[in-house]
Amino acid sequence: MSALLATTLISAALLPPLSLVILLTAGLWLHRRRPHLSMSLILLSTSALYALSTPWIGGLLQKSLEISTPVSLDTLGDADAIVVIGGGRRKAASEYGGDTLNGTSLERLRYAAYLHRASGLPVLVSGGKPDGGSHGEGSIMAHVLQSEYGFSPHWVEDASLTTWDNARLSAPLLKDAGVHRILLVTHAWHLRRAAPLFESSGLSVIPAGTQFSSIRLDSIRDLLPTPSGLRDSTYALHEWLGILWYKLRTILA
């Protein structure tokens, strides 16, 4: 078993929904032996599932990760380049005849293209193929920029498997070209983990987040469980878990 696969399995076990399924299963298994503990675990897992599935809680968790407000177009001239981090692929997409970007990556890439048109800054795309497939995210992003947005990125990094790799492998490409200050494009909830990694690689970072979260209760629907609410909560908890892991990795290194 590869280290990446082991990390993925451990992460899945610690995050919803699998972590809640494990708690619920443990509660049901202990029903006869430890009825009070069993009921506590069942109530904890079901209550957590409900709360984490609401758009409001998902928004609160993602808002806790945001480290900046939307970047001002007036500050674009302070940067030397734009770096956009891939957010995943769809492997063997039948309608495209092969690997393509998922929605998360497309949201980031669209914003990077918007900032490029507003500033004229060169773009670096970063992302490999951590789960296999035929093409890395960086290569696919480069193709999408050329075919759908009409320009090519200046640099393509397509070997990274993690956010740590995105920073470690992108920094030398940028430094060799004299780039020291970058606009870092990714989701707003990802910047708390990503920005320090690029800074520790010797780059100055201007956070350029997209998809900022709302924490307002606009209607009763914000308190009703939805698949997208659970997705948002899971993304946020995954980020906090990743931040903790990187801190431990730094300490143990």
Radius of gyration of the chain measured on its C-alpha atoms: 20
Section 2-16 average pLDDT = 86
pTM: 0.94
- The yes-or-no verdict on residue 139 having pLDDT over 90 is yes
C-alpha separations of 22 from 5, 25, 29, 81, 107 in Å: 20, 5, 10, 45, 33
Name the CATH superfamily housing domain 73-210.
HUPs (3.40.50.620)
Section 27-40 average pLDDT = 96
- The yes-or-no verdict on residue 124 having pLDDT over 60 is yes
- What was the pLDDT predicted at 238? 97
Run of H or E residues at 72:
none
- Break the chain into its structural domains and give their ranges: 3-64+222-252, 73-210
The fraction of the chain above a pLDDT of 70, given in percent, is 99
> Cβ distance 131 to 172 under 8 Å?
no
- What was the pLDDT predicted at 132? 83
Q: Mean pLDDT over all residues of the chain?
A: 95
Query: What does the pLDDT look like over 85-104, one tens digit per residue?
Result: 999 999 999 999 999 999 99
Query: What does the pLDDT look like over 196-243, one tens digit per residue?
Result: 999 999 999 999 999 999 999 989 999 999 999 999 999 999 999 999
Per DSSP, the three-state class of 124 is: strand
- The yes-or-no verdict on residue 1 having pLDDT over 60 is no
